[in-house]
Amino acid sequence: MIKINENYLKLQSSYLFSDIAKRVSAFQNANPGKTIIRLGIGDVTRALPEACVTAFHKAVDEMSADSTFRGYGPEQGYDFLREKIAEHDFRAFGADISGDEIFVSDGAKCDTGNIQELFSGDIAIALPDPVYPVYLDTNVMAGRTGLFADGRYQGLTYLESTRENGFVPTLPQTPVDLIYLCFPNNPTGAVISREALKTWVDYAKAHRALILFDAAYEAFIRDEKIPRSIYEIEGAREVAIEFRSFSKTAGFTGTRCAYTVVPKNCMAYDSTGKAHALHALWNRRQTTKFNSVSYPVQRAAEAVYSEEGKVQVRSLIDYYMKNAALIREKIAGLGYAFAGGEHSPYIWVDTQQDSWEFFDRLLNQAGVVTTPGVGFGKCGQGFIRISAFNTHENVENAMARIESALKGE
């Protein structure tokens, strides 16, 4: 008899986006003439930068002639891309990372989900609340949690991100082995200071723990004082793996390209306490189960680092950040406390009300879709996430509608 992995039965169905979709379609049916503006989903809306498109086309042309055609590429990604990443994203910021420590992939979602395969089933895990759900659900699937009770899985340490701690969790009280951190954060939009990040690196060193640092939104950081990479912190190479993505940086959500950094001296331990290099384990995993990203996509990603590419990416990010600034200004004007939107495309609004009730108010009175914070975890109750990924015109209209709906009550 074929048996299932019963850990899958512990998973809570992700009702969040299907619930949102149901409420939106009910509203649309009741108000057929009303245009809905979506500031809920974390997906980009603008075209790929021209430099990427040109490189993409050129690479497709290469694939069309026998003399320039490429078959399977290196599982870790092509050196032309790995070297550019190491130079521009790390060494330029004083982080000592080499090209062969970069593993190119088709998404930070897959990498943050797959990485837990490298670790034992009985490690103690700490992850943020509210959280990007991939970290949580992949550990549930792997059997590292108990059942779901009272809004949380048993056996995990939840790192609470609250108004009181400025949405930057403090060190856990009970020892943990694996720590997920995400900055700039989805969904709160919060960033972490160098000093605070150092406390996590020091903790990991003292406990022989490992930090999984998700920096998918790094490109939105506006202030040089805020670390873009965990490797800007001394000692982090030994205790941290970092995830990055071209998705939000350069509009690759549909094109798919990301990468994971595994420094060669980053270690984990077997049951006898002997150290093993995670670089070798991840390399083994990727060469066994993955064949990297298509050649044209890697050429398109490489173009992000060209002179034109840099300028175009900057203007793409500026475009969304102008939206974020408008959202911040309007939310502040309405008297709500909020976080984010300064170094991230998300604004996390403290509604002082049930998340779903506030979501419904915005949908029904303004025709604007947001994301209820409670969908990201218990600590998200009372918040909504507003995304800056849309056109200026839509964001302006949405905020004007929200303003008049909430003021008019």
The residue whose Cβ lies closest to ligand PLP is 107
Binding residue for ligand PLP, selected from 132, 231, 259, 389, defined by CB under 6 A: 132
Encoded tokens for 221 = 């950081």
| Binding string, residues 26-45; x marks residues near ligand PLP by CB under 6 A | ----------------x---
Q: Which is nearer to ligand PLP, 247 or 371 (CB)?
A: 247
Quickly tell me which residue has 């990498």 as its tokens.
111
Binding residue for ligand PLP, selected from 98, 162, 199, 253, defined by CB under 6 A: 253
Q: Which is nearer to ligand PLP, 119 or 135 (CB)?
A: 135
Look at residues 203, 135, 133 and name the one whose alpha carbon lies nearest to residue 173: 203
Return the half-sphere exposure (C-beta side, CA atoms, 13 A cut-off) of residue 72.
6
247 is a site residue for ligand PLP (CB under 6 A): yes
* 277: CB partners within 8 A, 6+ apart: 264, 265, 266, 267
What does DSSP assign to residue 184? S
State which amino acid sits at residue 61.
D
- Give just the sign of the alpha carbon dihedral 347, 350, 351, 356: positive
Q: Give CA–CA dist 404/110, Å, rounded.
A: 41
Q: Please report, for residues 126, 133, 192, 340, 394, the alpha-carbon distance to residue 39 in angstroms, rounded to integers and kept in the order given.
A: 30, 19, 25, 15, 9
State which amino acid sits at residue 336.
Y
Binding residue for ligand PLP, selected from 159, 258, 374, 399, defined by CB under 6 A: 258
245 is a site residue for ligand PLP (CB under 6 A): yes
Q: Which is nearer to ligand PLP, 252 or 359 (CB)?
A: 252
Q: Give CA–CA dist 292/75, Å, rounded.
A: 5
Specify the length of the chain in residues.
409
| CB atoms closer than 10 angstroms to residue 117 | 12
Look at residues 133, 134, 81 and name the one whose alpha carbon lies nearest to residue 258: 81
Considering only residues 178-197, where is the footprint of ligand PLP by CB under 6 A?
182, 186
Q: Which is nearer to ligand PLP, 119 or 376 (CB)?
A: 376
Q: Which is nearer to ligand PLP, 39 or 258 (CB)?
A: 258
Binding residue for ligand PLP, selected from 107, 189, 375, 377, defined by CB under 6 A: 107
Would strands 157-160 and 102-105 be described as parallel, antiparallel, or unpaired? unpaired
Q: Which is nearer to ligand PLP, 145 or 344 (CB)?
A: 344
3-state secondary structure at position 74: coil
Region of 102-110, 273-281, 298-306, 328-336 interacting with ligand PLP (CB under 6 A): 102-110
Region of 4-12, 122-130, 245-253, 321-329 interacting with ligand PLP (CB under 6 A): 245-253
Q: Which is nearer to ligand PLP, 16 or 334 (CB)?
A: 16
| CB atoms closer than 10 angstroms to residue 33 | 5
| Binding string, residues 320-349; x marks residues near ligand PLP by CB under 6 A | ------------------------------
Q: Which is nearer to ligand PLP, 214 or 302 (CB)?
A: 214
Q: Which is nearer to ligand PLP, 108 or 190 (CB)?
A: 108
Region of 80-88, 103-111, 116-124, 300-308 interacting with ligand PLP (CB under 6 A): 103-111
Encoded tokens for 226 = 């805020």
Q: Give CA–CA dist 324/22, Å, rounded.
A: 27
| Binding string, residues 201-240; x marks residues near ligand PLP by CB under 6 A | -------------x-x------------------------
85 is a site residue for ligand PLP (CB under 6 A): no
Encoded tokens for 159 = 């790192």
CB of 390 to ligand PLP, least distance (A): 15
What are the beta bridge partners of residue 125?
Answer: 178
Contact residues for ligand PLP, defined by CB under 6 A: 42, 107-109, 112, 132, 182, 186, 214, 216, 245, 247, 253, 258
